[in-house]
Amino acid sequence: MDFEKYLRIDKLPHIWCPGCGHGTILNSFIRAFAESGLDQDKTVVISGIGCSGRATGYLNFDTLHTTHGRAIAFAAGVKMANPGLNVVVMTGDGDGSAIGGNHLIHAARRNIDLTVILFNNQIYGMTGGQFSPMTPTGDQATTAPYGNIDQNFDLAKLVEGAGGGFIARGATHDPRQLKKIYLAALKHKGFSFVESFSQCPVSYGRQNKAGDAVEMLKKQQEDTVSFKKWQELSFEEKQGKYPLGILKEVENPESEYTESYQKIIKKLKKEEAF
């Protein structure tokens, strides 16, 4: 595996804390990209603000580190302006589900051909451990010193409700599966979304006495189950568990947004010729 081709080696070591899962996500993405056959020179990776936002700095592509929450909106502009580019978004749970939640909904609704990888470590890590919309109810956060009373929610279901064609969830305890999912997401024509569970032993783990990275990964494994097995579980058994794998994959290239727009351009050209 030629990591040097896809990483900016001179920018390493990365800034992520010891035990952070984000490096595992980056590793899995690089492996998937290498296998995808996509042109590195024709691929743009766009991120927002937060720990996940720093991923683009280490990746050897055209990379854009944007403002907080807006990566998907920038990506829509890039893709629409040049549909020949592969456009990948790397965002976090705060970046992608709180401040940038609206852009996620509408990119999924438009079925624009973007691959969105959401690093979900259930906390605002960069700013020091405030609760995010993904922090479980009852957990500790620096802005929830008496326990989090917010309800966390299922992002995959949100994206499904918005019409997303490819929806998947992976986790850092299983990097092989993460790679497989990213590969399928990169190949999917249309909007694809991969929620990627990641561990944050420092900003989340310490406050919640969750132990070190290994303990957090074990817990992550306990809390997740393959999508196939999950479907066989009873309602009670499903509580507190998250299915992993490709949760939905509907090929509908006809409705892809840039293609639909291209059809209008072609139609107008014909009328002009006539």
Binding site for another protein (CB under 8 A): 8, 11, 40-42, 44, 46, 56-57, 60-67, 70, 73-82, 84-85, 102-103, 105-106, 261, 264-265, 268-269, 272
The separation between the first and the last C-alpha atoms of the chain, rounded to the nearest angstrom, is 54
Task: Supply the minimum distance, in Å, between the C-beta of residue 101 and another protein.
Answer: 10
Comparing CB distances to another protein, the nearer of 131 and 257 is: 257
How far, rounded to the nearest angstrom, does the alpha carbon of residue 106 sit from its chain's CA centroid?
Answer: 15
Comparing CB distances to another protein, the nearer of 15 and 250 is: 15
Comparing CB distances to another protein, the nearer of 39 and 212 is: 39
Task: Supply the minimum distance, in Å, between the C-beta of residue 162 and another protein.
Answer: 11
CA distances to 56, 88, 127, 183 from 194, rounded to whole Å, are 17, 11, 24, 11
Task: Supply the minimum distance, in Å, between the C-beta of residue 245 and another protein.
Answer: 29
Give yes or no for a contact between 113 and 79, defined as CB atoms under 8 angstroms apart.
Answer: yes
Task: Supply the minimum distance, in Å, between the C-beta of residue 176 and another protein.
Answer: 27
- Sequence-separated (6 or more) residues with CB below 8 Å from residue 225: 233, 241, 242, 243, 244
Q: Is the peptide bond before 145 cis (omega within 30 degrees of 0)?
A: no
Structure tokens at 136: 């479980």
Strand-pair partners of 197: 120, 171
Comparing CB distances to another protein, the nearer of 81 and 149 is: 81
CA distances to 79, 191, 198, 208 from 20, rounded to whole Å, are 31, 28, 7, 15
Tracing tokens 């058994």 back to the chain, one arrives at 237
Comparing CB distances to another protein, the nearer of 76 and 216 is: 76
Task: Supply the minimum distance, in Å, between the C-beta of residue 199 and another protein.
Answer: 25
- Which of these, 76, 68, 245, 265, lies nearest to 174 by C-alpha position? 245
Task: Supply the minimum distance, in Å, between the C-beta of residue 58 and another protein.
Answer: 9
Comparing CB distances to another protein, the nearer of 67 and 127 is: 67
